[in-house]
């Protein structure tokens, strides 16, 4: 009989030892091999499933590669998928809890007990020779399976699932916003990269020529073939030209790398740009009335749709808060089994109903009602503030586009004049009537004029893209997820060709009035 106390002490000692060991876990640093193996895996994954480059990349292919392979876009897409998965999980919260239990119990001796009668307010004496009885075995096996359903939890879970459904839709709108943003960045990076490719090949020879002229001037200064003041002034002008050229080169050098990263390419990958040798100079047409642009933006902008979904989430939160004030009604049913020989029935069914209500909720009602009104009002104000910001962005984008048209026209005229001056200087240089400094200065002016023209055209295209983004127009064609790179590039080409010719679908005043009338009828 002494084995059971020893066994009990042994089990207690093991439990204490396990607890101490569990609490003594210390941080373990990653080994260099683990870090290098992970880096190798990430490097391989970054290059995996990226379509090879088969020729010069134009703007539409740059858009297509950005959509298919840009990591930020993929991250937002995965967030939307995760949100959809969370919605599927939350739906299970509305179902009853179904629990299955099984167990085995072992005692060191029988659970024998005695009973006495109650006399007056005190129990009778147990006596010196009490009679004990047993109603359970030393060891028993029990099992049960039961369902519990809380009506209040069902209602709360229903509203939470609706909120999660709206959060999924919000994640899709944020994905749209990211797509708009990265395509705007891609357009900007593409034209900067084109300018870099075209101008860097002209900048480097000009830098070499300026440095050679600087060396020659220093030699002339030492030989006293020219007055020191004239030589120093000449050298200062050359150094100013060199500094300007190096600043331009420094600004243009990373442009192609930035474009490669946006397209999901390794920056070391070499590729050509289609517009370098055949630059595009088409001017987009925008002949949309401002009121149409505003209406379209108020309907299509992802920020406003997100604000509307957020308002619905707030409404569901209000419903959940009121529902939590009601009593909790729980229903339960189960099947049970116990193998004890002392039970007449070893298996049985059970059912129950429970009601629980926190009476203090009665006093919370008034405060909660005011809080919910404030939440709804705050959500509406947030939506109105977003609407005003969107309208202002539409106006600003339209103004910038019109100004960039004028800037590009002026830059084109300036470039034409600079080219004609350069031609005159080159002719005079052939006749040896002008010096190297004049030639270098005019070459630099012509180069700067070309750069300004390219930058002005890039700004024109970028501002046109901002107009499209400010209106919330979706650049992605239907079913783009299943398209190949070539199909997506062709779809972008067709879509932007229409938009640049002024063929842009907008929301009309009639459509807005029809939608408003339909909403009024539905609310009645």
Question: What pLDDT does residue 212 have?
Answer: 82
Question: What pLDDT does residue 395 have?
Answer: 94
pLDDT in tens, the chain (524 residues): 444 455 555 666 666 666 665 555 567 777 767 667 766 665 565 555 677 788 889 888 888 888 877 766 555 544 544 545 554 544 545 455 556 666 777 777 877 778 878 877 788 787 778 887 887 878 888 888 877 777 777 777 777 888 888 888 888 888 788 788 888 888 888 888 888 888 888 788 878 877 887 787 777 677 666 677 777 887 788 788 788 888 888 888 888 888 888 888 887 888 888 888 777 778 888 888 999 999 999 988 888 888 888 888 888 888 777 777 777 778 888 888 888 888 888 888 888 888 787 777 777 777 777 877 888 888 888 888 888 999 999 999 999 999 999 999 999 999 999 899 888 888 887 766 666 667 777 887 888 888 888 888 888 988 998 898 899 888 777 777 677 888 888 888 888 888 888 888 888 888 888 888 887 777 66
Whole-number Å distance between alpha carbons of 168 and 166: 5
367: exposed, middle or buried (Cβ count in 10 Å: 0-12, 13-18, 19+): exposed
Question: What pLDDT does residue 92 have?
Answer: 47
Question: What pLDDT does residue 68 have?
Answer: 78
Residue found by looking up tokens 């059970």 in the block: 350
b or e along 10-48 (b: 16 or more beta carbons within 10 Å of the residue's beta carbon)?
A: eeeeeeeeeeeeeeeeeeeeeeeeeeeeeeeeeeeeeee
HEC profile of 202-243: HHHHHHHHHHHHHHHHHHHHHCCCCCHHHHHHHHHHHHHHHH
C-alpha count within 13 angstroms, C-beta hemisphere, residue 253: 8
DSSP state, residue 279: -
Question: What pLDDT does residue 404 have?
Answer: 93
Q: Could you tell me the domains of the chain?
A: 55-99+142-471+499-508 (1.20.1600.10)
C-alpha count within 13 angstroms, C-beta hemisphere, residue 466: 20
Question: What pLDDT does residue 87 have?
Answer: 47
Question: What pLDDT does residue 1 have?
Answer: 43
Cβ(56)–Cβ(274) below 8 Å: yes
Whole-number Å distance between alpha carbons of 492 and 162: 35
DSSP state, residue 314: H
Whole-number Å distance between alpha carbons of 330 and 119: 41
Q: What is the DSSP string of 450-476?
A: HHHHHHHHHHHHHHHHHHHHHTT---S
Sequence-ordered alpha helix ranges (H) in 48-150: 59-69, 71-91
Whole-number Å distance between alpha carbons of 160 and 87: 9
b or e along 119-154 (b: 16 or more beta carbons within 10 Å of the residue's beta carbon)?
A: eeeeeeeeeeeeeeeeebbeebeeebebebbbebbe
Cβ(235)–Cβ(218) below 8 Å: yes
Give this prediction's pTM.
0.69
């Amino acid at each position: 009989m002494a084995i059971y106390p020893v066994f009990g002490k042994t089990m207690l000692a093991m439990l204490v030892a396990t607890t101490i060991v569990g609490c003594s876990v210390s941080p373990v640093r990653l080994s260099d091999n683990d870090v290098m193996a992970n880096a190798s895996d990430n490097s391989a994954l970054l290059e995996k499933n990226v379509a090879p480059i088969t020729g010069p990349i134009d703007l539409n292919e740059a858009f297509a590669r950005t959509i298919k392979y840009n990591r930020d876009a993929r991250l937002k897409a995965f967030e939307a998928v995760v949100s959809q998965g969370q919605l599927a999980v939350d739906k299970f919260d509305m179902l009853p809890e179904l629990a299955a239990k099984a167990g085995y119990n072992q005692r060191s001796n029988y659970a024998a007990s005695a009973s006495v009668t109650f006399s007056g307010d005190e129990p009778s004496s147990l006596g010196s020779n009490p009679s004990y009885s047993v109603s359970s075995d030393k060891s028993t096996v029990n099992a049960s399976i039961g369902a519990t359903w809380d009506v209040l939890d069902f209602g709360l879970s229903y509203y939470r699932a609706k909120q999660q459904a709206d959060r999924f839709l919000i994640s899709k709108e944020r994905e749209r916003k990211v797509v708009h943003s990265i395509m705007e960045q891609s357009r900007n990076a593409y034209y900067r990269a084109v300018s870099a490719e075209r101008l860097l090949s002209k900048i480097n020879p000009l830098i070499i020529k300026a440095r050679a002229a600087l060396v020659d001037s220093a030699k002339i200064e030492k030989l006293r073939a020219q007055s020191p003041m004239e030589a120093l002034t000449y050298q200062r002008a050359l150094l100013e030209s060199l500094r300007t050229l190096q600043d331009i080169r420094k600004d243009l050098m990373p442009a192609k790398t930035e474009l490669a990263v946006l397209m999901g390419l390794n920056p070391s990958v070499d590729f050509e740009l289609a517009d370098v040798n055949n630059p595009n100079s088409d001017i987009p047409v925008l002949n949309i009335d401002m009121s149409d642009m505003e209406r379209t933006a108020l309907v299509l902008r992802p920020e406003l749709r997100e604000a509307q979904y957020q308002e619905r989430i707030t409404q569901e939160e209000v419903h959940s808060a009121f529902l939590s004030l009601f009593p909790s009604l729980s229903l339960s049913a189960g099947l049970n089994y116990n193998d004890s020989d002392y039970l007449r029935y070893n298996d049985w069914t059970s059912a129950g109903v429970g009601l629980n209500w926190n009476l203090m909720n009665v006093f919370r009602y008034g405060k909660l009602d005011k809080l919910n009104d404030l939440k709804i009002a705050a959500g509406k104000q947030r939506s109105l503030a977003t609407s005003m910001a969107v309208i202002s962005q539409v106006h600003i984008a339209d103004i910038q586009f019109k100004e960039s048209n004028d800037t590009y026209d002026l830059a084109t005229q300036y470039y034409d004049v600079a080219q004609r001056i350069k031609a005159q200087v080159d002719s005079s240089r052939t006749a040896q009537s002008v010096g190297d400094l004049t030639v270098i200065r005019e070459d630099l002016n012509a180069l700067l004029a070309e750069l300004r023209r390219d930058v002005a055209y890039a700004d024109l295209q970028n501002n046109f893209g901002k107009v499209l983004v400010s209106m919330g127009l979706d650049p992605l064609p239907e079913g783009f997820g299943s398209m190949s790179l070539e199909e997506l590039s062709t779809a972008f080409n067709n879509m932007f060709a229409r938009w640049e010719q002024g063929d842009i679908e907008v929301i009309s005043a009639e459509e807005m009035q029809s939608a408003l009338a339909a909403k009024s009828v539905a609310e009645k």
